[in-house]
Chain A
């Protein structure tokens, strides 16, 4: 079983390298991280936060948008592309289960995401260190947390991308679904919540339902967890109050449950594809 998954992952990673997805993902993360850390190195009037924590706070806001986008870009073709190229019948005739095939692809694409966020964030941390000096070290745990939660967030959207890919069975359709999913989950969801909170004006919705809805979205859970887990980061983002209103285990649980749930969803959708 592991040989089959690893072999698939190896092949998919080679394909990602040659399709330039690895280069594109790394370049995107690096570019945005660099821009943000440059902007963040301007004096912030310090709120009890070191340079690195300031950078991590802005990187968190960036990752909420960029990591799901990169993950969906890498993954939307996974099944639909095979259907279109006509490679799927042969793959499914081999003694590898559909679950193993998806896991292999997920593993390879997760490596691409991990590589991109690690290199991008390391670059940003380097800039912060150059301008902030040794006190920056206090922000390191926050940086590590940002990296591994980004990988979890990436896993969620990679699997959701696989699900979209299986549902549409055509690369163009899958791309459309993926962009739609990104818009809804990352942009519209928050706008909707914001509108509801404003309309509710401190009523039952804001105090009871809203925190759960926030945690239920993996991107929001990612944001809250990173801001709440570190005082300095929370302070730097000015959101410490909001973030602390929710116990840290809730967004963490959401961040751990989502990759599993999304992978199961993808497996279910893939099961309905007949080559």
Chain B
């Protein structure tokens, strides 16, 4: 079931186009990551989905409701980027307030804060919290109730690696119960195993969409093969792989996706002369950089 659907969505600030004709659908239980460099339009897209800003053009539907309508707001949880709270309030007071606004029982505040690891700091003022702790308060409020749609703008910024893993585990639980999740991030490597689909924005346009495998195939970046020649066989290896770079025992060559098997055969043929070899596919961040650069 489609929870969030955007069609031909655009947003301009004066003459600058922050978002340009973006189409996107997120279904129940799906985790979609929004990637893009600074100023690509990720936060703009999310604010449009929440109805915080008005669109210039296009359609948005949140489970069939207009963005920003009371029903849509009740169905949606939001974690803004650089989430902030009034420093004079305690974490507990703030979460209790948010629970009341959603018509939930304020007593659930302690359980929520415990879930994000803030049980000990719950009675302290948010002004005394660290950056990561404030981010956790933000996460706690996004977990209130059982939202149909979660919109999380750079949810893991400020979290340490262990907390990040815990956070994605929480998301997995929610997705399993049918929550549609749209989150933004700067690192493809971080979201790779944790999302079902990746959408890459560049200068306000959607330049790519798909699973990690799809993106890998689309970028078609060559693999890197490194070879170490046996002592005394350096010249022989260099002759067998004339395209390889490097000197002495260590040689490096690139291999297009389609030529993997062929290269393997050549390595096997020269097995006598080769002591060791490594095949490294293009890194996720290489793929990401390639796709967003190609679009620019």
Chain A residues within 8 Å of B, Cβ to Cβ: 3-4, 7-8, 10-11, 14-15, 18-19, 85-87, 89-90, 92-97, 274-275
Q: Please state if A94 and B84 are interface contacts (CB–CB under 8 Å).
A: no
Report how many residues on chain B are interfacial, defined by Cβ distance under 8 Å. Answer: 28
Chain B residues within 8 Å of A, Cβ to Cβ: 47, 50, 52-54, 70, 73-74, 76, 78, 80, 82-86, 88-89, 93-94, 97-98, 100-103, 138, 141
* Known pairs A93-B52, A94-B98; A14 contacts B88 (CB<8 A): yes
* Known pairs A95-B74, A274-B53, A275-B52; A87 contacts B84 (CB<8 A): yes
Which chain B positions have C-beta within 8 A of A95?
A: 70, 73-74, 101-103
A-B CB pair tally, cutoff 8 Å: 69
Which chain B positions have C-beta within 8 A of A15?
A: 86, 88-89
* Known pairs A3-B103, A7-B101, A274-B52; A93 contacts B93 (CB<8 A): no
Which chain B positions have C-beta within 8 A of A86?
A: 80, 82-84
Q: Please state if B80 and A96 are interface contacts (CB–CB under 8 Å).
A: no
| Given A11-B94, A90-B78, 15 new contacts (CB under 8 A) | A4-B100, A11-B86, A18-B88, A86-B83, A87-B85, A87-B86, A89-B52, A90-B84, A90-B138, A92-B52, A93-B78, A95-B70, A97-B70, A274-B52, A275-B52
Q: For residue A103, give the distance in angstroms from its CB to the closest CB of chain B.
A: 14
Which chain B positions have C-beta within 8 A of A96?
A: 101
Docked pose: A87 CA to B80 CA in angstroms: 9
Sample 16 A-B pairs with CB under 8 A, ordered by A number.
Answer: A4-B100, A7-B101, A11-B93, A14-B89, A14-B93, A18-B88, A85-B84, A86-B83, A87-B85, A89-B47, A93-B50, A93-B78, A94-B102, A95-B70, A95-B74, A95-B103
Contact of B89 among A7, A11, A90, A97 (CB under 8 A): A11
Q: Please state if B101 and A4 are interface contacts (CB–CB under 8 Å).
A: yes
Which chain B positions have C-beta within 8 A of A274?
A: 52-54
Which chain A positions have C-beta within 8 A of B53?
A: 274-275
Which chain A positions have C-beta within 8 A of B94?
A: 11
Docked pose: A274 CA to B13 CA in angstroms: 12
Which chain B positions have C-beta within 8 A of A18?
A: 88
Nearest CB to that of A86 among chain B residues? B84
Nearest CB to that of A12 among chain B residues? B86
Nearest CB to that of B72 among chain A residues? A95
Q: For residue A131, give the distance in angstroms from its CB to the closest CB of chain B.
A: 41
Which chain A positions have C-beta within 8 A of B97?
A: 7-8, 10-11
Docked pose: A95 CA to B145 CA in angstroms: 13
Q: Please state if B141 and A90 are interface contacts (CB–CB under 8 Å).
A: yes
Nearest CB to that of B103 among chain A residues? A3
